[in-house]
């Protein structure tokens, strides 16, 4: 059956999808790894302290939505997420601090991966310029994941941080979380929101791209 996808579009789409799944998996692994190191073994018992992508993939968020965005609705805003890592904060020695560290580990891992991509990509570019396709996408994708996840909206990581900062009750947090997907759908169709998101991404990405371009010379 002809899906109307030419080989070059398929190749580029699959490369982007692989980078996305890898980045989402590292994000979720980071949550699980830090929680485990801080004394909560819930992620470990559920098999989440692993870099195996299968353990972190969500059917809707890691397969259906991303593939639709890449191949069916190209050019739009990408949707994608991994299976949330469950934790039990009561297992932490310092509950508030350790829960915040666990929360920030996800976006932090994406920023770290973006910087690694900048360093490695810049060095590899000298020998193989065509590698820019992969490494520039890796940087941009992980900056997007970090910035998007830090939006102060439950249940995103930024929402978890906000909950601690303002002392939000768990009931309020979960009530807002029920409508967060709808809020995001509406927000991304507001030009002002997209402009702010794009500006934040450009600011965060600028040091990575600076490193990449300096090393690639």
**What tokens were used for 191?**
């030009």
| pTM of this structure | 0.93
pLDDT digit string, tens, across residues 119-174: 999 999 999 999 999 999 999 999 999 999 999 999 999 999 999 999 999 899 99
Using pLDDT thresholds of 50, 70 and 90, give the confidence band for residue 28: very high
Q: Is residue 1 one of the residues assigned to a domain?
A: no
- pLDDT, residue 152, reads 96
Q: Is residue 209 one of the residues assigned to a domain?
A: yes
Using pLDDT thresholds of 50, 70 and 90, give the confidence band for residue 2: very low
Domain total in the chain: 1
Burial of 157 (0-12, 13-18, 19+ CB in 10 A): buried
Q: How far is CA 63 from CA 21, 54, 90, 173, in A?
A: 9, 11, 33, 27
Average pLDDT, integer, range 54-76: 89
Q: Is residue 2 one of the residues assigned to a domain?
A: no
pLDDT digit string, tens, across residues 100-124: 999 999 999 999 999 999 999 999 9
- pLDDT, residue 76, reads 61
The phi-psi region of residue 85 (left if phi > 0; otherwise alpha if psi is between -120 and 50; otherwise beta) is beta
Using pLDDT thresholds of 50, 70 and 90, give the confidence band for residue 1: very low
Pinpoint the alpha helices (H) of 46-190: 53-56, 65-67, 95-125, 132-149, 157-166, 170-177, 180-187
Domain that holds residue 163: 7-216
pLDDT digit string, tens, across residues 30-52: 999 999 999 999 999 999 999 99
């Amino acid at each position: 059956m002809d899906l109307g996808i030419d080989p070059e579009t398929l190749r580029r789409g699959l490369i982007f999808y692989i980078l996305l799944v890898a980045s989402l998996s590292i994000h979720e692994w980071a949550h699980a790894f830090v929680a485990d190191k801080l004394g909560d073994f819930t992620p470990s018992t559920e098999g989440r302290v692993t870099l195996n992508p299968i353990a972190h993939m969500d059917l809707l968020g890691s397969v259906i939505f991303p593939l639709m965005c890449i191949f069916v609705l190209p050019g739009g805003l990408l949707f994608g997420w991994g299976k949330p890592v469950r934790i039990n904060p009561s297992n932490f020695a310092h509950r508030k601090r350790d829960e915040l560290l666990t929360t920030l580990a996800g976006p932090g891992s994406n920023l770290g991966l973006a910087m690694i991509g900048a360093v490695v990509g810049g060095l590899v570019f000298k020998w193989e310029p065509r590698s820019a396709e992969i490494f520039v996408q890796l940087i941009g994708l992980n900056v997007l994941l970090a910035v998007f996840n830090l939006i102060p909206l439950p249940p995103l990581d930024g929402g978890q941080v906000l909950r601690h900062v303002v002392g939000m009750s768990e009931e309020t947090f979960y009530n807002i979380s029920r409508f967060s997907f709808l809020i995001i759908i509406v927000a991304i169709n507001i030009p002002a929101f997209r402009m702010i998101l794009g500006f934040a991404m450009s600011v965060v990405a600028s040091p990575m791209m600076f490193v990449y371009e300096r090393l690639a010379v």
